[in-house]
Structure 1
Amino acid sequence: MGVKRVWSTAGVVALTGALLLTSAPLASADSIRDQQWPLRVFDAERVWKTSQGEGVTVAVVDSGVDASHPDLTGQVLPGKDFSRDSSDAHQDEDGHGTGMASLIAGHGHGPNNASGVMGLAPKSKILPVKADAGEDMDTTWPSGVRYAVDQGAKVINLSFNDDGAYPGSKAAAAIAYAQEHDVVVVAGAGNDGGSVKYPAALPGVVAVTAIDESLKFWDGSNNGKGVILAAPGAKILSADPTRSGGYAVASGTSDATAYVSAIAALVRSKYPDLTAGQVINRLIKSASFLENKVSEVPDRQYGYGIARPGSALTMDIPKGPKEGPLPQAPSSTSKNSGKASEDNGSSTNNQAKKKSSSTGILAIAGIAAVVVIGGIVFAVIRSRRNRGNGGGPYGGQGGGPGGTSAQTANYAPYPAAPTSHNPGGPNPYQQP
């Protein structure tokens, strides 16, 4: 199985000692914090007056989280290692998991915490779930998701793609388990410019694409059917214990995913009575396309819009149904998952054997009805072909120019997640 992180490793730039040897005073402090452009875009200082994520645990299923990093001290729970490489979830030989944790719950360091990385939900807690063991990751992270749920995580961050997480798989059942236990699951769409990848494409998962500093779609991000939200993901500075300077800059939907997970933590902290589905509803209803023009909602690049923490915390948004607006995954406890059509067919055959001979008469009548209806359908189709097809570019209602507007985007019908898997195709996770 192919598991790929959705942080573009090709775009990683280490912040080494050369950066710290500038002539400007307090260069190490200012240069780090000043490069966190998402905090300015989100108006984080104002957001933190309403919520900082207190009381919420965010599970980071990744390469581990270095709890000794100065920007994360006191923020990281013990966690668990499922990777088989070591026995300590606080060991992060890769740096990716620590980076995601810092964007979510980093608190900076030094006087007034003015140095280092500040997370968007700085008072939330990180539950490190180490599941990164190269090609073996796809066999370990589903167990990590279940562990995170049982440990009380209210948000789970999945900054990777896994082609083995298709519907009906062990991984999909783990995601369904989290959703059944009132957990918000957030995942990156991918970085190869293709379609939305699993597990982001699974029902009920908040699939996230990336935008750049101009608040435009980042061209390395995957897109298409199933996108839910967009968030900053280009040239993102985060903690990285594997670099000599302790920080790195990278681009990818991994970072965008971490920011959406942080916003979910902010909302769960302020509105503890909301279900996971209602939290997602609030994230969707408060999103905005800003100056980006879309022809249909959800948009293939932005989904329902760019996530906005301030609006998510303060807008007057009805709770809505407990299950939320996204499609629901099949129950993780069902032993017959993925065999519904087969079982239904078997059940129908058994019942048919018990019916009286009158069934034959009904069948004949049914065949006659089908013939009549078929003739009508044929006539309608032929008539439509003669008139031409005026549908929008993506199908559905209101497609194309003049269709659903950005102003009504937050209240548009919700998308259905992909439900098929083609194991025989090319590897969709290969980095460009």
Structure 2
Amino acid sequence: MTGALLLTSAPTASADYVRDQQWVLDVFTMQDTWAESQGEGVTVAVVDSGVDASHPDLAGQVLKGKDFTDSGGNAQEDVLGHGTGMASIIAGHGHGHGKGNTSGVMGLAPKAKILPLRTLRTEEDRNADETWAAAVRYAVDQGAKVINLSFSNDYGKTLSDGREAIAYAQARDVVVVAGAGNNGGDISYPAALPGVVAVGAVDKDANLWDNSNTGKELTITAPGVDILSADPTRSSGYAVASGTSDATAYVSATAALVRAKYPDLTAGQVINRLIKSASFLGHKGLKAPDEGYGYGIIRPNKAVTMDIPKGPKEGPLGKLPSQASSKAGSGSAGNDDSSTRAKKKSSSISLPLVLGGIAAVVVLGGIIFAVVRSRGNRGDGGPGPGGPNGGPPAPSMDYPPRQSHAWPPPHPTAAPGQAQHPNPYTSHPPHQGQ
């Protein structure tokens, strides 16, 4: 991928420049949706690089969580920035001094709580199968109702630890959401596992992102291009990025909205509501499930307002074999056996985050820097040279280095106050192909 500026004009006078960049809030008519549900009473576990609990847009939303890395540090710290970004997309509430929360990032479920579970610290760290599996079990035992997995295996399928942990979650009524991958290949693991909500990415025009992985396992798609989120590693505190990572967080947030509005629904019935309320948004000739769009693009407002029958308790996606879920949770409160277990295991898979491909940092105060940030969710493209059966995994070429550009450019290409982008998300009939 080559670096590119994501913004098309210099900052304009507005209530909050950061808030103005969150196009998803407008296309999803979130003000109307929040009148129905804000995710209150629902805990979403973010298995990631930690979550910066001090970020003003997340203050009070982040639970203590747990660090599963060898560092034994604090899950409320995030030196990579990715986990904080996902948390802000899910449950950011913005900030403001005496003017309401009119500044900063708003997530789709601003009253949900975030359980941060740190399973890696830097881009170079291996997110071992048994490490994130222990975090998933811990999330279940701590009462999380949705688990966000914005990462994928670099090579091969999810190992037994991961499969058993996800089965453990499914058997205990938890919605598990994972990114499809960012290399334009097949659906990555763990997203490809039965019962997991596998998420692809679309852009402002409701078109599939070029790098979004596709396949028969894809469940649903969500906005994942030019997404603004919190980032404590940037001087502004924000970044703009693209990837199925961000799309996954939007689906997790929508699941939280549904769980808050309909607390009697099972995890399978929540997934059913996500699917039945989705739409192909004018893409004609598609039949659900489509390998590029799954059952369609999420529509949070419809997910909480449509008259949809509950359906079977197990939901439409099925589950992993139940016998795998019979093991007790190894990461329950006060029990650190999961960390010890992770250290003893020798098998691991290189699991860089589903980091969105191109990112731009938003700097308030009149100076904007566009930063290309790699959110390299590597897809499950098979073992490849030097894969798990032939030594350490070979480096993946779809994880570009960071590049940065000064912003604004010397000659802005668009003038302030230009017409707003049309909203294809509201101009098409409901879900097609079912």
User: Of 83, 97, 103, which residue of structure 1 is paired with 2:89?
Assistant: 103
The CA deviation string for residues 48-92 of structure 1, in whole angstroms up to 9 with x for no partner, is: 000000000000000000000000000000000001224200110
Which amino acid in 1 is paired with 2:149? Answer: L
**1:198-347 matches, cutoff 5 A:** 198-331=189-322, 332-333=324-325
**Rounded Cα–Cα distance in structure 1 between residues aligned with 2:142 and 2:321:** 23
Which amino acid in 1 is paired with 2:143? Answer: G
Matched, 1:431 2:392: no
Which amino acid in 1 is paired with 2:177? Answer: V
Larger Cα Rg: Structure 1 or Structure 2?
A: 1
Q: Which residue of 2 aligns with 1:154?
A: 145
Deviation at 1:169, TM superposition (A): 1.6
Identity of counterpart residues, as a percentage? Answer: 65
Q: Is the 8 A contact 2:168 2:326 kept in 1?
A: no
Matched, 1:54 2:40: yes
**Rounded Cα–Cα distance in structure 2 between residues aligned with 1:25 and 1:290:** 33
User: Of 119, 125, 132, which residue of structure 1 is paired with 2:120?
Assistant: 132
Deviation at 1:107, TM superposition (A): 0.4
**Rounded Cα–Cα distance in structure 1 between residues aligned with 2:278 and 2:242:** 22
SS of 2:233's partner is coil
Greater Cα shift, 246-255 or 139-148: 139-148
Deviation at 1:428, TM superposition (A): 10
**Rounded Cα–Cα distance in structure 2 between residues aligned with 1:334 and 1:428:** 36
**Rounded Cα–Cα distance in structure 2 between residues aligned with 1:219 and 1:125:** 32
Deviation at 1:220, TM superposition (A): 1.1
**Rounded Cα–Cα distance in structure 2 between residues aligned with 1:306 and 1:156:** 20
**Rounded Cα–Cα distance in structure 1 between residues aligned with 2:295 and 2:83:** 27
Which amino acid in 2 is paired with 1:257? Answer: T
**1:373-412 matches, cutoff 5 A:** none
> CA 1:12–1:117 in 2, change beyond 3 Å: closer, same or farther?
farther
Matched, 1:93 2:79: yes
The count of corresponding residues between Structure 1 and Structure 2 is 333
The CA deviation string for residues 348-369 of structure 1, in whole angstroms up to 9 with x for no partner, is: xxxxxxxxxxxxxxxxxxxxxx
SS of 1:113's partner is coil
Deviation at 1:135, TM superposition (A): 1.6
Which amino acid in 2 is paired with 1:31? Answer: Y
**Rounded Cα–Cα distance in structure 2 between residues aligned with 1:312 and 1:172:** 28
**Rounded Cα–Cα distance in structure 2 between residues aligned with 1:138 and 1:109:** 36
The CA deviation string for residues 118-164 of structure 1, in whole angstroms up to 9 with x for no partner, is: 00000000000000151244331110000000000000000000156
**Rounded Cα–Cα distance in structure 1 between residues aligned with 2:253 and 2:3:** 23
Q: Which residue of 2 aligns with 1:183?
A: 174
Q: Which residue of 2 aligns with 1:142?
A: 133
Which amino acid in 2 is paired with 1:250? Answer: A
Q: Is the 8 A contact 2:268 2:314 kept in 1?
A: yes
The CA deviation string for residues 328-383 of structure 1, in whole angstroms up to 9 with x for no partner, is: 21122469xxxxxxxxxxxxxxxxxxxxxxxxxxxxxxxxxxxxxxxxxxxxxxxx
| Structure 1 unaligned residues grouped into runs of 5+ | 1-7, 336-419
**Rounded Cα–Cα distance in structure 2 between residues aligned with 1:83 and 1:142:** 12
Matched, 1:31 2:22: no
**Rounded Cα–Cα distance in structure 1 between residues aligned with 2:264 and 2:176:** 18
Q: Is the 8 A contact 1:146 1:174 kept in 2?
A: yes
Q: Is the 8 A contact 1:13 1:248 kept in 2?
A: no
Q: Is the 8 A contact 1:191 1:222 kept in 2?
A: yes
Q: Is the 8 A contact 1:138 1:164 kept in 2?
A: no
SS of 1:227's partner is coil
> CA 1:11–1:242 in 2, change beyond 3 Å: closer, same or farther?
farther
Q: Is the 8 A contact 2:151 2:245 kept in 1?
A: yes
Q: Is the 8 A contact 1:12 1:248 kept in 2?
A: no
SS of 1:135's partner is coil
Q: Which residue of 2 aligns with 1:67?
A: 53
User: What is the RMSD of the two structures over their aligned residues, measured on CA atoms?
Assistant: 2.5
Q: Is the 8 A contact 1:237 1:250 kept in 2?
A: yes
Q: Is the 8 A contact 2:165 2:325 kept in 1?
A: no
Q: Is the 8 A contact 1:12 1:251 kept in 2?
A: no
Q: Which of structures 1 and 2 has the larger relative contact order (alpha carbons within 8 angstroms, sep 6+)?
A: 2
Q: Is the 8 A contact 2:221 2:297 kept in 1?
A: yes
**1:109-120 matches, cutoff 5 A:** 109-110=95-96, 111-120=99-108
Which amino acid in 2 is paired with 1:115? Answer: S
**Rounded Cα–Cα distance in structure 2 between residues aligned with 1:421 and 1:14:** 28
TM-score by length of 1: 0.73
**Rounded Cα–Cα distance in structure 2 between residues aligned with 1:161 and 1:254:** 9
> CA 1:89–1:13 in 2, change beyond 3 Å: closer, same or farther?
farther
The CA deviation string for residues 294-339 of structure 1, in whole angstroms up to 9 with x for no partner, is: 433210111000011111111111111110010221122469xxxx
Q: Which residue of 1 aligns with 2:186?
A: 195
| Structure 2 unaligned residues grouped into runs of 5+ | 328-379, 388-393, 400-434
> CA 1:294–1:156 in 2, change beyond 3 Å: closer, same or farther?
farther
**Rounded Cα–Cα distance in structure 2 between residues aligned with 1:119 and 1:48:** 11
Deviation at 1:431, TM superposition (A): 1.5
Which amino acid in 2 is paired with 1:319? Answer: K
**Rounded Cα–Cα distance in structure 1 between residues aligned with 2:201 and 2:158:** 24
**Rounded Cα–Cα distance in structure 2 between residues aligned with 1:181 and 1:97:** 24
Deviation at 1:168, TM superposition (A): 5.7
Deviation at 1:423, TM superposition (A): 4.0
